[in-house]
């Protein structure tokens, strides 16, 4: 379960950033997670609950924003949300080989803090 190492890494990055703001308390870590990130949301949420227990922020929430699978059509250039991983056909012109341009994200988008 690599989600535990990801959760630990999220907490490490948050702790490094928060060390510059000692007067603030971390309320939540906000992340963006794409369908092709290779991360299972439910497993990450469970791993995060375990990892945060012994961390500097045992009460900080993990807020996950799921992103969409985005493709560009090589024929007509249209930028659109893919129907599914199994159907990357352009809805505008019907071309089958869409280029994936979004949906691989697994990134911290914000740290929510409360000033003391």
Q: What pLDDT sits at residue 1?
A: 61
At 40, which CATH number?
3.30.2320.50
Cα 96 from Cα 81, distance rounded (Å) = 14
- Residue 82 is assigned to a structural domain of this protein: no
pLDDT, tens digit (0-9, with 9 covering 90-100), for 64-112: 999 999 999 989 989 999 877 788 888 889 888 668 899 999 999 999 9
The reply to whether 15 falls in a domain is yes
Number of structural domains, the chain?
Answer: 1
Domain of 108, in residue numbers: 3-68+103-115
Average pLDDT over residues 6-15: 97
Evaluate whether residue 38 is within a structural domain: yes
Q: Which of 72, 52, 67 is nearest to 9 (CA)?
A: 52
Place of tokens 């928060």: 18
Is 57 a known ligand-binding residue? no
Is residue 90 a known part of a binding site? yes
Q: Is 73 flagged in the annotation as binding?
A: yes
Residue 12 is assigned to a structural domain of this protein: yes
Q: What is the mean pLDDT of residues 2-23?
A: 94
pTM, 2 dp: 0.87
Predicted local distance difference test score (pLDDT) of residue 61: 98
Residue 24 lies in a domain: yes
CA–CA distance from 97 to each of 22, 34, 83, 102, 107 (Å)? 50, 20, 13, 15, 27
Let me know if residue 54 belongs to a domain.
yes
């Amino acid at each position: 379960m690599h989600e535990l190492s990801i959760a630990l890494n999220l907490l490490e990055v948050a702790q490094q950033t928060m060390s510059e703001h000692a007067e603030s308390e971390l309320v939540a870590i906000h992340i963006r997670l794409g369908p092709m990130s290779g991360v299972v949301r439910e497993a990450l949420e469970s791993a995060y609950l375990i990892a945060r227990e012994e961390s500097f922020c045992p009460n900080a929430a993990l807020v996950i924003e799921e992103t969409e699978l985005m493709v560009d059509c090589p024929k007509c250039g249209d930028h659109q949300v893919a129907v599914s991983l199994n159907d990357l056909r352009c809805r505008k012109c019907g071309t089958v080989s869409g280029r994936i341009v979004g949906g691989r994200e697994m990134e911290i988008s914000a740290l929510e803090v409360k000033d003391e």
